[in-house]
Structure 1
Amino acid sequence: MNVRQKQYATGTVWLVAAVFGSSAFAQQHEPTELIDQQHCMFCHTVDAPFLAPSFHQIADRYRDKPHAAAMLEHKLRLGGKAHWGDTSMPLPADRGGPLSPEDAHTLIQWVLSQ
């Protein structure tokens, strides 16, 4: 392999990694079991407001805000007041039971990837 081919191959690897590998905004695999366990779809949908904002709306509002993920994870784990509209986040006992910090993180990262 000559120098030009090596440069091309290296550039291609970096491009593929940048596009598919480590993008913070790459859509993640849906955590269906957690979504079902926590009854998320009782109030939310992926792309249209229902009783609460859609996951796309949440992602658009919070994706680029510092510390938003931690705030959303906390709200998901403990419930909390409405940030828009009149519907507050129900307490965990009213949604499917307690949620670990790891599971809250998984759900919020998925929502922010929408």
Structure 2
Amino acid sequence: MSYARWSILIACSAGLFAAGLDAAHARIDEPTELVDQQHCMFCHTSDAPFLAPSFRQIADRYRGVPNATAMLEIKLRKGGRAHWGDTAMPLPSERGGPLSAEDAHKLVEWVMSQ
């Protein structure tokens, strides 16, 4: 294969790879009803720490960590000890009631898209 064809092949491959990365990290619309129901904004903000880390900080810390999504979903559904400072994730009963596995997944996907 000629140099020109290799160059085109490499450029196309790089473009497809970059497009795949953009799609993998595409920002997801906020599931506002769930965020409000679970009172997420009582402790978190989108981009600055408040009583708890920002959603962007969470995404940055856990992006690329194996099983992070599953761990975060469990933490949303059951609460959990503090991983950031002294504030633990409240129990669901303290923040808006039980959360289904599907709703926890939807919230975590949104957070991880930040």
Normalised by the length of structure 2, the TM-score is 0.82
1:69 lines up with 2:62 in the alignment: no
- Structure 1 distance, partners of 2:104, 2:19, is 26
Structure 2 counterparts to residues 1-114 of structure 1, below 5 A = 19=19, 23-114=23-114
Instruction: Report the aligned-residue RMSD.
Output: 2.1
Tell me the alpha carbon deviations over residues 57-76 of structure 1, each in whole angstroms, 9 at most, x when there is no partner. 00000011010000000000
Q: How many residues align?
A: 102
Tell me the alpha carbon deviations over residues 74-105 of structure 1, each in whole angstroms, 9 at most, x when there is no partner. 00000000111100000000000000000000
Normalised by the length of structure 1, the TM-score is 0.82
5+ long unaligned stretches in structure 1 = 1-11
- Structure 2 distance, partners of 1:26, 1:70, is 20
> Which consecutive segments of 4 or more residues in structure 1 shift more than 2 A?
none
> Sequence identity of aligned pairs in percent?
71
Whichever residue aligns with residue 23 of structure 1, its letter is A
